[in-house]
Structure 1
Amino acid sequence: MSHRDAPVLDLDLWSDEALHDPYPLWARMRETGPVVRLREPDFYALPRYAETRAALADWRTFSSARGVMLNDTLNRAQAGATLHTDPPEHVAQRTVVGRPLTPRALKRLEEPFRVAAEEVVERLVARGSFDAAAELAPHLPLSIVSHQVGLPEEGRERMLAWAAAAFDSAGPMNARARAALPVLEEAVAYSYDPGLPGRLLPGGWAEGVYRAAAAGEVPVEKCPALLIDYWGPALDTTIAAMTSAIWLFGRNPDQWRLVREDPALLPHAVNEVVRLETPTPYFSRVATRDVELGGTVVPAGARVLVMYGSANRDERKWPDPERMDVRRAPVDHVGFGHGEHACLGQRLARLEIKAVLAALARRVERFEIGEVRRLTNNMLRKIERLHVTVR
């Protein structure tokens, strides 16, 4: 079988317009081929499902050890962090960070999530209208999850700004990424403060990282970077997905009616939301050898753009992929990643989103969508204002 070079496209996936509505560009890339080379930045992009999932499943060929962000500055600065490692180092760090995120460990949070969701939903629904992005979606992540992490109160109010800056600075080094760097440096200084371990809440997840270091499971100098795994990706992506759920159900009242009639559809609904509106649509890998994907050779040393968001809308995988269908049960979507680097916090996110949707389903017949304003962020797909009226 002969191999072909990747077709080259001159597209800007990180313009304001593309960040707000990437779907036409993604569709063009999927139509162009299984591997597409972008001119600037110079990436080999994987817009289709099959190649994306294959790359994520093969960490030896598509390595994270040279960084998964889209610029060298961040990849050098975060070298050795959990996202930027391969096994066996990755397994050791993932085990420590993931200890409070196992199904057994999370079982005890189900009731607090339920109670908190019922409280906030009852209060907001009684008002009749609210900003779902600011008043509803952040409630569980900030009121319960941040407390479970166990960071001291001072600084916690900056977590969402830090998380957004971390995602912005992880994109190509454009003006948006450069502007985010000082905010990210503030977050790094917080995590690396030598006095922080003494201020951690006893029994919290953060303290558990330092306990693991004391037991020799990970080097103590790795602990500050591991803490970022909790406040960085865990909060903002869950908030983004929860907000998108309200937006999608407002636009698809028939699907909300199905969930209200059959709460057993809630897990499928969460998967469908993350498939349609993947909070983190991109990360990258580096090819360790010449490798063939879909008849195209990706050369050794190439940086590969893994397009989770585009893969989740691939017509070759999903029938009518643009349509929301809570009966679809897309359990093999890649919105939470796949393989060695599958999202550690996905069980936590699912619990939070399901708790809020369940509380809403008992009280709300439909959502009427008002003002919608999207965040303009290099690596995070999120609605920052979503005014809804509930009936």
Structure 2
Amino acid sequence: MSLAPVSDVDLYTESARIDPYGIYAELRALGPVVYLTRHDLYALPRYDEVRAASMDWKTFSSARGVFVDPGVNARLEGITLCSDPPEHTAMRSVLGRPLRPDRMRELTPRIEAEADRIVERLVGRGRFEVVTELAEYLPMTVVSDLVGLPDHGREKMLEWAAAIWDTQGPADDRAAAAGPAVEEFMRFAMHDAVPGRIEPGGWAAQLYEAADRGEIPRDKCPVMMLDYVTPSLDTTIIAITNAVALFARNPDQWELLRADRSLIPHAMNESLRLETPAPQFSRVLTEDHEIGGVPLAAGSRVALLYASANRDERHYPDPERFDITRRPSDHLAFGRGEHVCVGMHLARLEMSALLERLADRVDGFEIIEHRPLINNGLRGLDRLEVAIEHTRPRETAIEPVRPRTS
């Protein structure tokens, strides 16, 4: 028998998907590891344990899936997210090439030009819907083009990505409803997103080129498309939306950012810490292991609750407060270790470009309407309509040249 405290909380009810933070606080108070009876897995709700598990892939394995439902885990074994080194290392090396920092520097002018274009358009109206009109713009305008999928695939990317995330919880109604869209994506990846139908030189084409060189098995290419479709879209869209919502609710922090643009990287980290788009993944223990004095048996499935760890009062003072001077670069929203988010440099580039330009043009945001996203693998907003308090460009960015006096 495990010595872990036990909880019957359900992390996948609609109310828990909207606001899980009370549940997370209860779990953190229970201990460093808690057995969740409803899902037959152990949960790590505190920062130190989640970080340590993230860094120890040999003990906390991803090779048997990283989700909740055993059937989904069995079907997805072997994809990049659900693999360990050396297979994971080989696939990640190929996936990460177009996402390296040097490639991001090459992409920066294009991202910034598109950010200029969309911010100029939206602030001129004085009111806009953040998710569809702002946050989706860069991923759908730039990233979908870079992946190089056929047009009918690009049109479905958001639908497919949301469905794939919905399969990451238990076998509930949301997961069942997502099934047809997931199957549609897999058929597309197998039969349409293939050489001859994808853009030469695009990220998808580069997967097949690597397979031709013998770097990865060719049959891995279709499922590796998941790594470009899901992390490149929803998590970034949610992160951008969350940042705007947080600044709207904390106008003093927006004023700080407008006054000091060097705070943008810290603002992004603080936003990701406080509102983590992908709240959890799971691992399977490869050997008997002790966590916080609690012995766990090999084969146990353990959920890493990143969103809870990012609000752990043992690690972050006053963790519920949005404070862009906090500088929480050690947050866990991108994961850590072998499975750290391969697209985090792209996500940071997109967020930074938009925040920089919004800070140039917007004095403040007022939330007109918001609607939560209900998804088994993601947490954020499905709709966020804001009014802009002022759209006049700041005139203090460049000091006027004054004539010299004798």
Shift, 1:180, TM fit = 0.8
SS of residue paired to 1:197? coil
SS of residue paired to 1:196? coil
CA contact (8 A) 2:47 2:309 kept: yes
1:72-96 Cα shifts (integer Å, max 9, x gaps): 1211211110001100110000000
Q: Match of 2:245?
A: 247
Shift, 1:369, TM fit = 0.7
1:223 pairs with 2:244 = no
SS of residue paired to 2:371? strand
Q: Give the letter aligned to residue 246 of structure 1.
A: V
In 2, Cα distance between the equivalents of 1:82 and 1:33? 31
1:190 pairs with 2:188 = yes
CA contact (8 A) 1:35 1:294 kept: yes
What pairs with 1:157-236 in structure 2 (closer than 5 Å)?
157-193=155-191, 196-236=194-234
Shift, 1:4, TM fit = 7.0
CA contact (8 A) 1:4 1:295 kept: no
Task: Name stretches of at least 5 consecutive residues in structure 1 with no aligned partner.
Answer: none
In 2, Cα distance between the equivalents of 1:384 and 1:143? 19
CA contact (8 A) 1:64 1:83 kept: yes
1:144 pairs with 2:142 = yes
TM-score under structure 1 length normalisation: 0.98
Q: Match of 1:24?
A: 22
1:325 to 315, 323, 327: 323
Shift, 1:200, TM fit = 0.9
In 2, Cα distance between the equivalents of 1:239 and 1:200? 24
1:196-255 Cα shifts (integer Å, max 9, x gaps): 321111111111111000000001111101111101221110000000000000001011
SS of residue paired to 1:321? coil
1:102 to 90, 100, 103: 100
CA contact (8 A) 2:2 2:296 kept: no
SS of residue paired to 1:19? helix
1:255-302 Cα shifts (integer Å, max 9, x gaps): 111111111110111111110110000110001111111111222111
Shift, 1:106, TM fit = 1.1
In 1, Cα distance between the equivalents of 2:310 and 2:244? 19
1:147-169 Cα shifts (integer Å, max 9, x gaps): 01111111211111111100111
1:308 to 306, 313, 322: 306
Q: Match of 2:396?
A: none
Q: CA RMSD in A?
A: 1.1
Shift, 1:194, TM fit = 6.0
SS of residue paired to 1:233? coil
In 1, Cα distance between the equivalents of 2:36 and 2:387? 42
What pairs with 1:26-65 in structure 2 (closer than 5 Å)?
26-65=24-63
What pairs with 1:335-346 in structure 2 (closer than 5 Å)?
335-346=333-344
In 1, Cα distance between the equivalents of 2:368 and 2:297? 48
CA contact (8 A) 2:193 2:204 kept: no
1:286 to 284, 287, 292: 284
Q: Give the letter aligned to residue 207 of structure 1.
A: A
Shift, 1:195, TM fit = 6.6
In 2, Cα distance between the equivalents of 1:160 and 1:76? 24
Q: State, as a whole percentage, how many aligned pairs show the same letter.
A: 53
Q: Match of 1:380?
A: 378
Q: Match of 1:363?
A: 361
| Larger CA Rg, structure 1 vs 2 | 2
Shift, 1:67, TM fit = 0.5
In 1, Cα distance between the equivalents of 2:46 and 2:368? 33
1:334 to 326, 332, 335: 332
In 1, Cα distance between the equivalents of 2:331 and 2:62? 21
1:128 pairs with 2:126 = yes
1:41-86 Cα shifts (integer Å, max 9, x gaps): 1110000000000111110100000000111121121111000110
Task: Name stretches of at least 5 consecutive residues in structure 2 with no aligned partner.
Answer: 390-406
Shift, 1:382, TM fit = 2.0
SS of residue paired to 2:295? strand
CA contact (8 A) 1:286 1:301 kept: yes
In 2, Cα distance between the equivalents of 1:356 and 1:299? 46
Q: Match of 1:257?
A: 255
1:351 to 313, 332, 349: 349
SS of residue paired to 1:70? coil
SS of residue paired to 1:210? helix
TM-score under structure 2 length normalisation: 0.94
In 1, Cα distance between the equivalents of 2:222 and 2:335? 24
In 1, Cα distance between the equivalents of 2:296 and 2:92? 28
SS of residue paired to 1:161? helix
Q: Give the letter aligned to residue 368 of structure 1.
A: E
SS of residue paired to 1:387? strand
In 1, Cα distance between the equivalents of 2:108 and 2:68? 36
Q: Give the letter aligned to residue 271 of structure 2.
A: V
Q: Match of 1:298?
A: 296
